[in-house]
Amino acid sequence: MIGVRGAAYGESASAGTGGDSGSGSGESAGGELAGSWLATTGGKAVALVITGKQAALFGTGGSVCSGTAGEESGMRMIRLKCTDGSKDRATGMVDSVSGRSLKVTWEGGLGAETYRKAEGGKLPTGLPTASLG
């Protein structure tokens, strides 16, 4: 079972990788992805957790997804596989990230989704967490 426990959410495990010049403003896709991010889509809470190059997504409707987050061909991408077979959030491109918000455009019908940083790195209660692997 793959879990998201054991790593501090605020740690930067991916800093300095990829050969970029590092001249991002922090408001672009060059900002820090690591952390716990929350959104409400269609009346349901969605939590996206990124630790290093690992990503997990949990939704109050029962969605549990795991995968990767990182740089691909100069773009920051999130790639997830969901236990319920959903493809709504299978591939997403990070449009922008700052200390407070993360905007991801998901391929397919879902489109753009804006997340806010979870306070203290804590997720809300009531999200599914089983069967990530």
Q: What is the mean pLDDT of residues 81-95?
A: 94
> Helix and strand tally (H, E) in the chain?
0, 8
Higher-scoring residue by pLDDT: 17, 65: 65
Higher pLDDT among residues 42 and 132, named by residue: 42
Above 60 in pLDDT, residue 6?
A: no
Would you place residue 125 in the very low, low, confident or very high pLDDT band (cuts 50, 70, 90)? low
| pLDDT band per the 50, 70, 90 thresholds, residue 124 | low
pLDDT tens profile 9-36 = 333 333 333 333 333 333 344 458 999 9
Position 21 scores a pLDDT of 35
**What is the CA 47 to chain-centroid distance, rounded?**
8
Q: Would the pLDDT of 58 be above 90? A: yes
Contact 80, 67 (CB under 8 A): yes
Q: What's the pLDDT at 109?
A: 77
Local structure of 119: helix, strand or coil: helix
Token pair belonging to 109 = 């019908």
pTM here is 0.70
Q: What is the pLDDT of residue 75?
A: 94
